Structure 1
Amino acid sequence: MSETAKSRAAALSHLRRDGLVAGDPIPLPLTMASIFHTPGVETGVDQYGRYDNPTWRAVEHALGHLEDARCVTFPSGMGAISAVFFALLKSGDRVLLPADGYHATRAMAERFLKPFGVVCDTRPTPTFLDGGFNGYRLVFVETPSNPRLDICDLSAIAEAVHGQGGILVVDNTTMTSLGQRPLDFGADIVVSADTKAVNGHSDVLFGHVASRNADIISKVTDWRGMVGGIPGPFEAWLVHRGLETLEVRFDRMCSSAETIAQRLSEHRAVTGLRYPGLKGDPSHNLARVQMERFGFLISFELASEQKAEDFINNCSLMQAATSFGGVHTAAERRSKRGDAVPPGFIRLSVGCEPVEELWKAIEASLEKVSA
């Protein structure tokens, strides 16, 4: 992690310090309110819970501190992605999406953007630069892609997209702002499902949009207030609490993933292993340039659907779950979610368990399915 990232992480838990007076609580208070006291006042104060809340502002301030940008929060990652699309696009616009990224983004575009006259195309992440970006109002990338963990060159794509007058949006869910900083590489917008590692405890849905463009933030904020796509104060409070341990958790998860990925590469039952931190991975050289860490996600294949299911279900330190980024290690056979991957393909999210104990459990389960 760079010195700048370390500095931001160190300051994160102390962002409220300068505003405190004697007797104030140091942890963030939870403001559960839909209405506020507004006698004779029209502007400059909280008035109604669909437009603002002190707890939202605190978590947006914390997220903005990490992103070095303004942030707008939402009740889920898909809420954040939808807000960008519906706030910035109009009938006749063209959008380019990753063919191999999170499937719900493509499904949303197909089912809800196309009927409004927005043209949606797709392109594989490894060759995302091929074909250029002429005619695209908005280009959306996810790097590393979910679930295969392919990577594309953010700087090169940003330059090419901007050369054609388009907007570049990056889904940074898999990495968080501690692992990768797309805005620094030229992206106009970052979206993230903070449901994952940012909150980190698998007990809340949340998302955010970050941008250094004031007009974009204004449009996304207006859309949120108008349609009511707002986070709950309690959910915002939980995410704020999770953020305070993000650096510790993320560091542990990434370090453990590096160890486990190397050992998986040497196991006879494992094929098709992908992890950007491995020197032999096709994305390794680019990952070294644009990523602060190599992440906590690993993908690989076992010989069959049944072997993959048995491996996950019989591992004593692994949860069978569809999400990732929590303190517990979790895995899923992704073909059952509709991804275009082999039946035995597994996405593994490494958690915060002691790495040697975790590897013993993983190895034991692999031995059973490869016996």
Structure 2
Amino acid sequence: MGYQYFNTDEMIKNTTVFDERDPSLKKESFHIAYGIDKNFLFGCGVSIASVLMNNREMDFVFHVFIDQLSTDDVQTFSQLAKSYKTCIQLHIVNCEKLKSFPTTKNWSVAMYFRFIIGDYFIGSQKVILYLDADIVCKGDISGLVNILPDDKVAGVVPERDQSWWEQRAHSLHCPALEKGYFNSGMLLLNIDAWAREYVSGRAMEMLSDKKITSMLSYMDQDILNLILHDKVQFIDKIYNTQFSLNYELKKTFINPVSDSTVFIHYVGPTKPWHSWSCYASATPFLVAREHSPWKDTPLMSPGNANYARYCAKHNFKQGKNIAGIINYIFYFYLKIKG
């Protein structure tokens, strides 16, 4: 079984299971896990729907690790499971052990849930696909099922380019990262190897060291790169095609999403569930939303100063000048307020 840092009986308060699969159709299940807080719940639900609508021949078990859920949220996931005759498990996480670790204005302790996820499946599953909630599926994922070598902890996709890898290698004092620095939003995890390398325990130890955390810019992602830089298998970027909706603010940009893209990863602060992300590049999310129980859920308005500022910028880009002025005023109000 290997080594487990997190006692999952302590870390998981309770689990709710909705299994609407036909028991007469016995197929090997592919497990997909998300680690989120309430701000990413909308995106997570639509992400699950996007996987299901593009992979109707596969049998899935989805796992949502979250700190809290309302009764309405639970019922919406139940509807999703019924609609697609799939299995969804909702795991409520005890966050007490994580509260001492660093967070940012955009990322709560939920970014560390992927370490709990890795440990949770030790002894029960061989392979788990971890996805961030801002990932939308637009293709066939069956190519991931048997792609990972036994000696690798994770299948990953590089982030950016060689110059970026060199920058992260320098910042993190890890020359090996010059050969490749990966994005942690999509992790195809070999659970036996994860346990063997004691990834969660090593990560928590490093996150408790202020000398190490002072070097980090992307907390969980930097830590994973430091631990796993020589224990990952780089796979095709179609499985984590990273695109920022804030590219739309530029005069020109190249959209990396193509017909062959399987997963679009909407990196950056503006997400496709935000009301100001009204671009063709957000269409895959909006299509999946229409095929989910969240189809009538309105896109989210800015809830903090950072989002209000981006909302205003996008309003002006879209020619919505009055809305842009209003949201800039809202931005300054929130800044003054605190």
* TM-score, normalization by structure 2: 0.29
Q: Which is bigger in relative contact order (C-alpha 8 A, separation at least 6)?
A: 2
* TM-score, normalization by structure 1: 0.27
Greater strand percent: which structure?
Answer: 2
